Structure 1
Amino acid sequence: MSGAQAAGSPRVGWVEWVRVSAGAVLGLAAVGLLSHFAETGTGWTQAVWLVAPIGASAVIVFALPSSPLGRPWSVIGGNTLGTLMGIVCAAWIGPTWIAAGVAVGAAIALMLQARCLHPPGGAAALLAVLTHTTDWRFALMPVALNSALLVAAAWLWHAATRRPHPAPPEAAEAMLPNTDDLSSAIDAAVTRYGEVLDIDRTTLRNLLEEAQTQAYRQRLDAVSCADIMQREVQVARPDESVAEAQDRLIEHGIKALPVIDRHRQVVGIVTAADLRLNPEGAPSAMLESSTPVAARMTRQVRVVSQTRHLSELIPLFASSGHHHLPVIDASARLVGMITQSDVMRALHRTPQANPTAPPSA
């Protein structure tokens, strides 16, 4: 793929580079200073007033403000709950290697349930186990305090540099680009956004393509046969002559006639090709006037319900070779006709209430 970016974090402009780096320096320094004052001012007995996982949190809140992993509840809740889980495991599980695995796995499960997934929360759980911390107050100070101060520092920095935190999602376009246009569109959008995104361009493209496919399916599922079918349908009776059926096809410029009984139930279908059949050597006019439609019609007829969706029709037309499908109601009576032309017209119609489709061949 031409113009593809190399693996790893995408490059950003120098302004964003300076903004993010300076924010992390000032923000983490402020967190450390305020936490140290809080520790000395309250007589807190813990020797640690700044924990290492906060450094990882700083990367997310300053460099990835659009990430759900950097939302305030994710940072504060993830680090605090992860630490609490590590404390529990350190107190109740003997071998460190078992306690470490259980603490991180349980922290992830707890963060997912609490909707505050934050990667440094796993590091906070591991820190509590490795330092054999069993005092639950450690989760409040310094961990919860560090996290809250970091969120506040990030909010102030992003506001001062005109980058809201958390960053609001940009309005989506009404129509997604075609697949062939996605690569250049993604590159242009990321460059214009000017911010590191915690998702690589290949995954982003796949998500956009999947969203496009889902939107297309939803649009097809919103249209039923009743919305696009031809309601004024020319029909044939089994006992009428081939000549009469041919005249009707020519008069209305159509290519097929559903054959119905006296209850308007479909018993067959006859096309122009069926009516042109002529045994070799027999007088054509005599045959057409005396041969009933029942002798030429196809008796195995694929019909569709008027409540079926457009998404279900496409495979029928694409794989079965059908060009015309009679539409029936709940009582199996003929109520309309759908052709390939009707389906194509519906596919290209802008999303809106579907008026009754005009008759077509």
Structure 2
Amino acid sequence: MPPSLRHLIPDLAPMPARERLRAAVGALVGILATGLIGRAALGPSSALPALIAPMGASAVLLFAVPASPLAQPWSILGGNLIASLVGVTVGRLVPDPALAAALAIGVAIALMAALRCLHPPSGAVALTAVLGGSAIHDLGYGFVVWPVGANSVLLLAAALLFNNLTGRTYPHRPAQVPRDHGTADPAPSTRTGFSSADLDAVLAEYGQVLDIGRGDLEAILRRAELRSYRRRSGGTTCADVMSRDVVAVAPGASLHEALDLLRRHRIKVLPVTDERAQVLGIVTQTDLLDKAVWDRGGPRIGLARRLALTLSRGRAPYGCVEDIMTTAVETVRPETTVAEVVLRMADAGLHHLPVVDRWGNLAGIVSQSDLVAALLAEAAEEPEPEQARLPALAATPA
């Protein structure tokens, strides 16, 4: 293709074959379910359409790009309902079809943009309300309820089920933001490189709507930044710096035993493992302070937490490590690079990360001290920049 024509082809990221198949099957299932349910609800003799054409365009968004802001539930429901209301109203007030169609599309886009429910197929909904013929015109504002409202709800329900069953979280959740520590300081990962304010300023200067959420865009850019750093930095991994002789505790150990281990080894965290060394949770000094009550005998499970655990588990707690451990444990693998661990620990406010092998068994633990030592070692091994050596060479006597 001539270079002058290449800009006519969209610069889309490659779509894996599995994702293409998933999108195609999802659209097939969604449209088929919407049409069959609509036909069953109306009955064979109904003059109402069971399915309208704009739902095909909605299916492309809901199943092929479910992470798009244009494909979220409020986008399809709000966009289609607003567009159908505008289309019916303009069709009744403006006798000329061409002018009515143009006004309906323009007004619908303005309202959808203002109400943050921009959905491209809704333009076709507004057009259908104006140019759909006598069968659509006779429905009046009933067109908003059926088929537009009913079709939108049915297709959305199909998208909710299919996307989540096939591994795509829907509605899409924006990328996790760094933990807020309740201070004015920005997250550690944003203190170097670009900041969130930089991104907002650039987006404002760009001045166009992007088919990607702002949070996802920032997450992609930060991952690219991390990948660039990893490529330019050394290849130090967790296996190179982690502590291998890890002090762990069993879930059935008493709170006193956990406290004794923390004090005796002068550590701040204990991985909780079973007899096969599988990581079940983690206990920190904070867990002992926040989830236990203290008296002269030491830590114990308080009445409020005892009742909460009894209700959630269906049995009384035993006053052991299992009753206070954190079970949502973030782990890393031995081959994870130090650069990636730094970012994960900094933004999550973590001080230690258990290292597990491919079977989920505890292999070691990485602390902030390990990372500092590794980064200092990498910095010491970096060759001196050529520009920095030139003055020294020039000053050296011949």
TM-score, structure 1 normalization: 0.46
Q: Which has the higher contact order (CA 8 A, sep 6+)?
A: 1
The structure with the largest alpha-carbon Rg is 1
TM-score, structure 2 normalization: 0.42
